[in-house]
Amino acid sequence: MDYFVWNVDPNIFHYGALQLRWYGVLFVGSFFIGLAITKWIFRREGKPVDTLDNLLLYAIVGTVVGSRLMHCLAYEPDYYLSHPLEILKVWKGGLASHGGLIGVMIALYLYARRYHLSYLWLISRLTLPGMIVAASVRIGNFFNSEILGLPTQVPWAVIFKRVDMVPRHPVQLYEAGSYLLIFLILLVFYLRSRPQTATRYLPGIFAVLLFGARFVLEYFKTRQADYTTSLPFTTGQLLSIPVILVGLIWIAWAFYGNKVRSEK
């Protein structure tokens, strides 16, 4: 069977030490797409848009710092602790969504305090652009031929020629597609809900769907962490479980709160 062979250079161009990589363009570009979505939401709900350029900066810094540190310390601690300067080379890839979530939550809290916005309102709305960023990162991983899937014989398997000649699940594209589908689900829920309902439910739905998908798709990935545990779960799954539980508790809290208000 003939499989699709992927052998695209991860660099768009490079001149000496100067490089422009598909990963970086997709990552940064997704934030500008997210900014456009956020502006639409702010205008739709009558919020001031004059500080959104600063919000973009907060979100990028929080996401990059959190996701990079989580990847380096949770997945490849031995390597990065031995080569600490490599932590700064974000353009090579290696961002963990769990750390990105923590980093951006902290950054958004600081932004909300500075500009006197409701923190809960803000994080609920930014679940929408957050899914665009997550999908773009995985497409960037595909361009980098990293976060590889397990070997398979399915007709849509991909051979990452820069790595080996083994047909594999294109798990990066599975994730990107899943995240875009979750974006559509969140968007439909947002458009069909009252503002107060969207504020209460969206963060929980986001956490359960995003990290639920991440948990399931880990079964199609090669091992990423440079260490092993005796548990029957990967590092990505172990990091996803607490977020899924928090999301379920959040949804239960939102449902109970709505029920109590409706009974009054």
Over the stretch 20-74, which tens digit does the pLDDT of each residue have? 889 889 989 999 999 999 999 999 999 989 989 899 999 999 988 998 888 888 8
Question: Residue 235 in 3-state DSSP?
Answer: helix
pLDDT at 263: 46
Mean pLDDT of 194-214: 96
Q: How far apart are CA 140 and CA 22, in angstroms?
A: 6
Task: Compute the C-alpha angle 29/33/35, nearest 5°.
Answer: 110
d(CA 36, CA 39): 5
CA-to-CA separations, 109 to 39, 57, 103, 227, in angstroms, rounded: 19, 13, 10, 34
- pLDDT for 228 equals 63
Q: What is the mean pLDDT of residues 234-249?
A: 93
pLDDT greater than 80 at residue 93: no
Smallest CA-to-CA distance from 106 within 53, 67, 71 is with 67
Spatial CB neighbours of 263, under 8 Å, sequence gap ≥ 6: none
User: Among all chains, which residue has been given the structure tokens 């990967």?
Assistant: 234
Please tell me the pTM assigned to this model.
Answer: 0.87
Q: Decide if pLDDT at 230 tops 90.
A: no
Could you give the percent of the chain with pLDDT greater than 90?
Answer: 67
Mention every residue, 6+ apart, whose C-beta is less than 8 A from residue 167. Answer: 3, 151, 152, 153, 157, 158, 159
Instruction: Give the chain's mean pLDDT.
Output: 90
- Return d(Cα 46, Cα 52) in angstroms, integer: 13
Total tally of structural domains belonging to the chain: 1
pLDDT band, residue 261 (cuts 50/70/90):
low
**The tokens of 235 are what?**
């590092």
Where in the sequence is the domain holding 126, given as residue range(s)?
4-263
pLDDT bin (cut points 50, 70, 90) of residue 16 is: confident
Q: Which pLDDT does position 264 carry in this prediction?
A: 46
158-160 and 11-15 strand pairing? unpaired
- Secondary structure (3-state) at 140: helix
Q: What is the pLDDT of residue 240?
A: 93
Distance of CA 130 to the CA centre of its chain: 7
> In this predicted structure, which of 44-53, 55-64, 92-101, 165-174 has the lowest mean pLDDT?
92-101
